Amino acid sequence: MTAHFDGPAPLTDTITPQVPDRPRPAGPGDSGDLAGFAPDGPLFARTRPVAEHVADSSLFVPALTRPQRFEMALYSLLWLVTVVVFWVWWADPAHILGPWAYALNTALLAYLILLPAVFVYRMQRLRKVRSDAPVPDLRVAFAVTRAPSEGWDVVGRTLRAMLDQDIPIAYDVWLCDEAPTPEIREWCVDNGVRISTRNGIEEYHRAEWPRRTRCKEGNLAYFYDTVGYRDYDVVAQLDCDHVPERGYLAEMVKPFADPGVGFVAAPSVCDSNAATSWAARGRLWFESFFHGAFQLAHNGGAVPVSIGSHYAVRTSALREVGGIGPELAEDFSTSYILRLGGYDGVFAIDARAHGLGPDTCAAMLTQEFQWTRSLTAIALTLVPRTLRRVPMRLRLRFFFAVTHNAVFGLFAFVGFLLAPMAVIFDHPWVSVNFLEFLLLTWLTSLPLIGIVLLLRSAGLLRPDDAPVLSWETALYKIARLPYLWRGALAGIVQATTGKITQFRVTPKDREGIEPYTVGQVMPYVVLTVANVAVGAWGTWADRAFGYAGLTLLAAVSFAVVATAVPALHARELRAVESAAGPRWKAVAPALTLALAVAAPTFAVAIWYCAELAALIVA
């Protein structure tokens, strides 16, 4: 069924909103303890756990066949065996040179090697929504947001797909536009799209949450306060670049047949420009496991989270907890506060929408910084004062979700520091054979690769055909590290000072020839120079020789990023400029600096390999 159309589309800027300056009265099923609003999220009268609802098991079916589940169990057992073998080897007293040094290295390795335990455990209970589940007869709105910087050609594609959904119930399509032009208004009237805009309404341009200016939460808050809560049971919402497939809306609405489901999350698949952007491919493929099987494993009480640019909510539940959540990561905060209200979430893996990934590495790094900053701020403000409202089994789950980027960045930072510090002080942290160490850690990863290959063959990655290993993913993982560190630090500063941070909308299309600047390459240059200096000194002076090699490995890794990113940027600028001259001119200063640093780095690395070969022969 296509979108419901009762004549000219109404504009909500002609409606007086009911601004929620005070908590709303409790509704049916409401715990009634929403006490107010703070800049970091809703205030609740109670801190103890609230009654929770778990989605009915009849809504789900196993996502793997019986033979596939047996294969999964074998891979999991094999992973456990390799981990035990590694730790038995690591626990050899001969490896200990000092208790504190050994403890620090053990903690780092425990995080890196045991982190997959969460994933391996979850893979044993993969459940997805039944394909034959009926679509409940609810009042449904399908909404898309637009900021003035987002072009109509992008939004138009999304709206046309929203209007042409294969769903057996009527629904309304809404454009939540910050500043609709006369042309946009005319198109919407002609096509039966309703418009919501807070343009010029001061109450919806506050400096802080709720109803914050220049952010998606404030835009959507106006829609919900005017018509969303009053006229609809369920609202599915998209970013403007996410084009839904025809079956998308039906898959998003199905789980709401269970009255205890408060939100439905969906895979964030930003692959529309994957062919022209290595950064888009790198993140897309790196996150394919998370946006597929990992989220799926939380169906049925473990609560998936909305991480991405589209999700659906039950409006009565959203109203009970105070509305769309705070921060740039409003997707996560919204699903979190809905869970605080006792509602379960469902992950609809077959609800497919295709968005735009970052066109450039610079755009990707900006997003990594902003997301890490936002999640870190939430972890230090909203989460500590509210986490006790969820059962103990979910506290670690939410804490892990909101701190993962920052904690991973911290452990990576410590890991990169260990080798150069050993060289500087000429004191190895542990006494191990590094070839044995590398072999045993590599063995622990083989069963994990097998698990991902199994999930790929079962169609449980998003996108389905994401490669398990790729150079884009490797480059992405190294390139993002400095921005995880910077984002975590910015989040800490924001949480401790209360400073208001303005959000930046990532461009959805390339805007001419964008230069890759010296400032953008500088973090990798600094890291390369620092590591190669220490590594060269260690090689020359024979100081902690093995750690000198690890330091040089880090230097080479950052040098590769420093040179590859501007070169790839120039190549991908072919989308807007065919002539080679202007493209290479746009990256020349950054690439020149990177090459000037990379050349001696590679030379020192070759020298180290020669010294190592001589030691082995001797």
Q: What gap in Å lies between CA 196 and CA 17, rounded to an integer?
A: 11
Q: Which pLDDT band holds residue 244 (cuts at 50, 70, 90)? A: very high
At residue 569, does pLDDT exceed 90?
Answer: yes
pLDDT in tens, 40-77: 999 998 887 777 788 999 999 999 999 999 999 999 99
Buried b vs exposed e over 329-361: b needs ≥16 C-beta within 10 Å? bbbbbbbbbbbbbbbbbbbbbbbbbbbbbbbbb
Mean pLDDT for all residues in the chain: 91
Distance CA 301, CA 59 (A): 12
Please determine, for residue 29, whether its predicted confidence score (pLDDT) is greater than 60. Answer: no
Q: Where are the beta strands (DSSP E) in 239-357?
A: 243-244, 261-265, 310-314, 344-347, 353-354
Q: Which two tokens stand for residue 436?
A: 């044995």
- Tell me the DSSP string of 38-105: ETTEEEES--SPPP-----GGGEEESS-HHHHHHHHHHHHHHHHHHHHHHHHHT-GGGBS-HHHHHHH
- Place 10 in a pLDDT band, splitting at 50, 70 and 90: low
Which band of pLDDT confidence, cut at 50, 70 and 90, is reported for residue 576? confident
Q: What is the DSSP letter of 347?
A: E
Percent of the chain exceeding pLDDT 90 equals: 82
pLDDT band at 25 (very low <50, low <70, confident <90, very high): very low
CATH classification of 44-507, choosing from 3.40.640.10, 3.90.550.10, 3.90.105.10, 3.10.330.20?
Answer: 3.90.550.10
For residues 428 and 413, give the distance between their C-alpha atoms in angstroms, rounded to a whole number: 18
Give per-residue pLDDT as tens, 331-348: 999 999 999 999 999 999
Cβ count within 10 A of residue 253: 29
Mean pLDDT computed over 492-510: 76
Structure tokens at 311: 């999700």
- With contact defined as beta carbons under 8 Å apart, do 609 and 552 qualify? no
The predicted-structure confidence for 175-207, as pLDDT tens digits, reads as follows 999 999 999 999 999 999 999 999 999 999 999
Cβ(312)–Cβ(264) below 8 Å: yes
Residues in the chain: 618
pLDDT category, 145, cuts 50, 70, 90?
very high
Contact 118, 79 (CB under 8 A): no
Residue 508 has pLDDT above 80, yes or no: no
pLDDT at 574 over 90: no
Looking at the chain, the number of H-run helices and the number of E-run strands are 22, 13
Whole-number pLDDT of residue 3 = 64
DSSP 23: P
For residue range 273-324, list pLDDT tens digits in order: 999 999 999 999 999 999 999 999 999 988 999 987 899 999 999 999 999 9
- pLDDT one-digit tens code per residue, 463-487: 999 999 999 999 999 999 999 999 9
C-beta separation of 287 from 245 below 8 A = no
**Residue with more model confidence, 260 or 18:** 260
pLDDT (0 to 100) of residue 156: 97
Average pLDDT of 148-171? Answer: 96
Average pLDDT over residues 103-125: 91
pLDDT score of 2: 55
- Residue 427 buriedness (CB in 10 A; 0-12 / 13-18 / 19+): middle
Given a cut of 50, whether residue 8 has pLDDT beyond it is no
Does position 5 have pLDDT exceeding 50, yes or no?
A: no
Band (pLDDT 50/70/90 cuts) for residue 1 is: low
Give dist(CA 618, CA 603) in Å, integer: 23
Q: Is 244 in a helix, a strand, or coil?
A: strand
Domain extent listing, the chain = 44-507, 510-618
Q: Strand runs (DSSP E) across 206-319, as ranges?
A: 234-238, 243-244, 261-265, 310-314
Pairing of strands 127-129, 60-62: antiparallel
277-289 burial code (b ≥16 CB/10 A, e <16):
bbbbbbbbbbbbb
